[in-house]
Amino acid sequence: MKNIAVIGAGTMGNGIAHTFAQTGFKVQLIDINEDSLKKGIETITNNLDRMVAKDRITEDQKQQTLSNISTFTDLTEGVKSADLVVEAATENSELKLKIFKQLDDICSKDTILATNTSSISITQIAAATMRPKQVIGMHFMNPVPIMKLVEIIRGYNTSDEVTKTIMELSKTLGKDPVEVNDYPGFVANRILMPMLNESIETLYNGVAGVTEIDTVMKLGMAHPMGPLQLADFIGLDVCLSILNVMYDGFKNPKYAPCPLLVNMVRAGKLGIKSGEGFYDYSESRKAEKVAEQFLK
Ligand SMILES: NC(=O)c1ccc[n+]([C@@H]2O[C@H](COP(=O)([O-])OP(=O)(O)OC[C@H]3O[C@@H](n4cnc5c(N)ncnc54)[C@H](O)[C@@H]3O)[C@@H](O)[C@H]2O)c1
């Protein structure tokens, strides 16, 4: 594999593009929004600058990484020579089904189509194509250049060969891939989201305050970040949407989102990205500090 097309230049897409480019792949970064592409390249450049400052890479490696990335707003143009497409567009099943149908029409028949979805069924996405054996979940963690895990999700029809190729490729990126099957929440979110939801429920029931709950989990369970802060970091809207997918998928009330979470999302309190969630991030430096503390 040489050419990797990444769809979506947001939080995850720019991290995925960075990681492939730094490993020496040619990356075509595609977004419908010109501004997102500009911001994505800015983020990659800032992150590379930080790595140079910490002596993790040289200035030459930074330049080489940047020169491996080209940007596109046109999907057909961007995926033309791709051996692998990693889709990291907005988490919306209608949008993803549409993108995969288009990809199936325009990509070469050997191209593997991967999605970074947090919760949408890989089997359902694969069914929008005529190549379900070549569709797979490649669930990177945020921030992608730092986090070692990639959850590799096999759809119902994903072939052994494609799974093996993507597992090997993830290792080439310096990641530790874990193979899982396609059920709602996969493994990471199936376990994480009920814990975050329960910590919100604990707050909602008045058992303890925000800092108390986070302190118990940080100091008592050696979690690097408290669950309420982690929910802010992920985005409360994202947490709600993943819980709803699991609630719908399993028809089990244990995944029902806490009413406080639902209300906070309705009120526009989405965590770091909106400036307020369980904590106040109105001074932008505060959000950066949280991120830096987490990234150490
Ligand atoms: N944020 C996380 O912590 C996280 C972690 C793991 C997985 N994910 C998954 O990664 C995916 C992306 O999430 P994100 O947080 O980076 O979102 P984001 O909102 O930061 O970025 C999404 C980008 O997709 C672009 N986009 C929308 N429609 C498009 C289209 N048709 N073609 C090309 N680009 C398009 C948007 O312009 C935007 O730049 C989602 O599926 C999400 O569930 C997110």
Average pLDDT of the residues in 243-261: 96
Burial of residue 195 (CB within 10 Å: 0-12, 13-18, 19+) is middle
Query: Is residue 198 annotated as part of the catalytic site, yes or no?
Result: no
Structurally, what CATH architecture does the domain formed by 3-181 represent?
3-Layer(aba) Sandwich (3.40)
Q: Residue 282 — very low, low, confident or very high, per pLDDT cuts 50/70/90?
A: confident
> What is the spatial distance between Cα 249 and Cα 70, in angstroms, rounded to a whole number?
38
Which residue in the list 68, 116, 118, 197 is annotated as catalytic? 118
Task: Provide CATH 3.40.50.720 ranges for the chain.
Answer: 3-181
Query: Is residue 223 annotated as part of the catalytic site, yes or no?
Result: no
Q: What is the dihedral of CA 149, 239, 247, 156, to 10 degrees?
A: -30
pTM listed for this prediction: 0.92
Q: Best substitution site from 34, 71, 90, 234 to test ligand 1's pocket, by max atoms within 8 Å of Cβ?
A: 90
For the Cβ of 234 lying below 6 angstroms from any atom of ligand 1, the answer is: yes
pLDDT per position as a tens digit, 180-219: 999 999 999 999 999 999 999 999 999 999 999 999 999 9
Residues 6+ apart with CB under 8 A from 154: 122, 136, 137, 163, 179, 180, 181, 182
pLDDT per position as a tens digit, 71-108: 999 999 999 999 999 999 998 999 999 999 999 999 99
C-alpha distances in Å from residue 265, one per residue of 76, 196, 239, 268: 35, 15, 10, 5
Task: Provide CATH 1.10.1040.10 ranges for the chain.
Answer: 189-295
For the Cβ of 22 lying below 6 angstroms from any atom of ligand 1, the answer is: no
Mean pLDDT of the chain: 95
Strand partners, 153: 137, 180
Query: Is residue 168 annotated as part of the catalytic site, yes or no?
Result: no
Structurally, what CATH architecture does the domain formed by 189-295 represent?
Orthogonal Bundle (1.10)
